[in-house]
Amino acid sequence: MKEFAYSRATGVEEAVSLLAGGSEARFLGGGTNLVDLMKSGVEAPDLLVDVRGLPLGGVEVTADGGLVIGATTTNSDLAVHPEVRRRFPALSQAVLAGASGQLRNVATVGGNLLQRTRCGYFADTSRPCNKRVPGSGCPAIEGEHHNHAILGWSDHCVATNPSDMGVALAAFDAVVSYETVDGPGELPLAEFYPAVGDTPHVETALPAGALITAVTLPAAPVAARSRYRKVRERASYAFATGSLAAALDVRDGVVHEVRIAFGAVASRPWRARAAELSLTGAPATAESFAAAADAELAAAKPLAHNGYKIPLLRNLVVSVLTELAEEAAR
Partner 1 sequence: MTDLTESISAPPVGVVGTSHVRLEGREKVTGAARYAADVPFEGLAHGSLVLATVARGRITSIGVDDVLAMPGVLGVIHHGNAPRLNPEAGLLGTGDATLQLLQDDRVPHVGRPVALVVAETAEQARAGADALVVTYEEEEADLVFSADHPGSYTPAAAPEKHKGDVDAELAAAPVVVDQRYTTPQEHHSAMEPHASMARWADGRLEVVDSNQGSFLVSYVLSVLFRLDPGVVRVRAEHVGGGFGSKGIGPQLILAVMATTELKRPVRVALTRRQVFATTGMRAATDQRVRLGADSTGRLRAIDHDTATHTSTIHEFVEFPGEVTNALYAADAIRIRTSLVKVNLPTPTWMRAPGCAPGSFALESAMDELAEAVGVDPVELRLRNEPEVGPISGLPFTSRNLVGCLTEGARRFGWADRDPRPGVRREGRWLLGTGMAAGIYGAGSLPSTAAITAHPDGTFTVGIGAADIGTGARTALVLVAADALEVPTSAIRIDIADSDLGQAWFAGGSRGTSSWTWAITAAATDLREKLADIAHIPADGITGRADTAPLIGALEQRENHAHGAQFAEVAVDPSSGEVRVRRMLGIFAAGRIINPLTTRSQLIGGMTMGISMALHEEGLRDAQFGGQVNGDLAGYHVSAHADIPAIEADWVPDYDPSNPSGVKGVGEVAIVGTAAAVANAVWHATGTRQRSLPISLERILTTTNA
- Give the binding site for partner 1 (CB under 8 A): 1-3, 39-41, 118, 120-121, 123-127, 139, 142-144, 146, 231-239, 241-242, 308, 311-312, 315-316, 318-319
CB nearer to partner 1: give 33 or 213: 33
Measure the CA–CA gap between 94 and 140, rounded to whole angstroms: 27
State in angstroms the smallest separation of the CB of 236 from partner 1: 3
CB nearer to partner 1: give 158 or 318: 318
Beta-sheet strands, E only, within the chain: 5-8, 25-28, 47-50, 59-61, 67-70, 175-180, 183-188, 211-217, 226-231, 242-251, 254-263, 270-271
Amino acid at 26: R
State in angstroms the smallest separation of the CB of 116 from partner 1: 12
CB nearer to partner 1: give 234 or 330: 234
Q: How many residues can be counted in the chain?
A: 330
State in angstroms the smallest separation of the CB of 143 from partner 1: 5
CB nearer to partner 1: give 284 or 316: 316
> What strands, in cross-sheet order, belong to the sheet with 25-28?
5-8, 47-50, 25-28
CB nearer to partner 1: give 72 or 76: 76
Q: Choose among 126, 127, 146, 147: nearest CA to 137.
A: 127
State in angstroms the smallest separation of the CB of 40 from partner 1: 7
State in angstroms the smallest separation of the CB of 233 from partner 1: 6
Summarize the chain as % helix, strand, coil (round to 5).
30, 20, 45
